[in-house]
A = this chain, B = another copy of it.
Amino acid sequence: MPKDTFYNLPEEKRQTIYEAALDEFSIHPFKQASINRVVEAAGIAKGSFYQYFQDKKDLYKFLVEEIFQKKIAYLTPEMQNPFNMDCFSLIRELFRSGVRFAKDNPKLAKIAQHLMSNSEKDTYLEIMEEKKGEGIQIYKMILEKGMEKGDVRGDINLDIAAFFLFQLSNSLSDGFMDMFHQGDEAQLMERVEDMIEILKYGISNNRLESENE
């Protein structure tokens, strides 16, 4: 929701501001991010900033919107009709696109992480009220479809499973990349496979029927 003035800016200047903001908000969570530093890094006047954006939160919303837009762009074409896909393929693709996004846009990914980290819960709620239902609900829907199709076991707790998936997908950007060879996309994708594998079949060595009581 930047003001028109921002969009009327010459492309180059707009970009400069955008990147200064990216730098600041990817390093600091919302409250600690400093508009002072942003305007200094961007080389614009303090007053100018407030002509482009309502306030600090307005800038933040703008960045978050960018995250959403860009993240969607990383979805593969076949995901346009997600429910034609096999459930696990869909999850795999979501995870893979998440990894690719984080790899190509590490700063945006950091911002996303701060936002999700619920140290920012109040900021999050204020900003996300219009985006309600995002997040866990999507995974629940996917799993429900999978269950209907018979891909997913009928006896699991869907909420828990969706919670599972949500937690994992949120962790993909930062901790995951830090930990698992962040430079090499091929390796990261193998780790995604490992994840899916565990998700599908669990980690127990025993079959379900012989163990389940």
Contact = CB atoms under 8 A, between A and B. Distances in A.
Interface of A: 28-29, 31-32, 88, 113-114, 117-120, 136, 143, 150-154, 156-157, 159-161, 163-164, 167-168, 171, 174-176, 179-180, 191, 194-195, 197-208, 211-212
Contacts of A191: 157, 159-160
Contacts of A195: 160, 164
B157 A194 contact: yes
Given A154-B205, A163-B175, A201-B212, 20 more contacts: A31-B31, A113-B118, A114-B119, A118-B174, A118-B175, A151-B205, A152-B203, A156-B194, A156-B198, A157-B198, A159-B179, A160-B191, A160-B194, A161-B203, A163-B176, A167-B175, A200-B211, A201-B201, A201-B208, A207-B207
21 contacts: A113-B119, A117-B118, A136-B179, A151-B206, A152-B203, A153-B203, A153-B204, A154-B205, A156-B194, A156-B197, A157-B194, A160-B195, A163-B176, A167-B167, A167-B171, A199-B202, A200-B202, A200-B203, A201-B204, A201-B211, A201-B212
Contacts of A174: 118
A143 B194 CA distance: 15
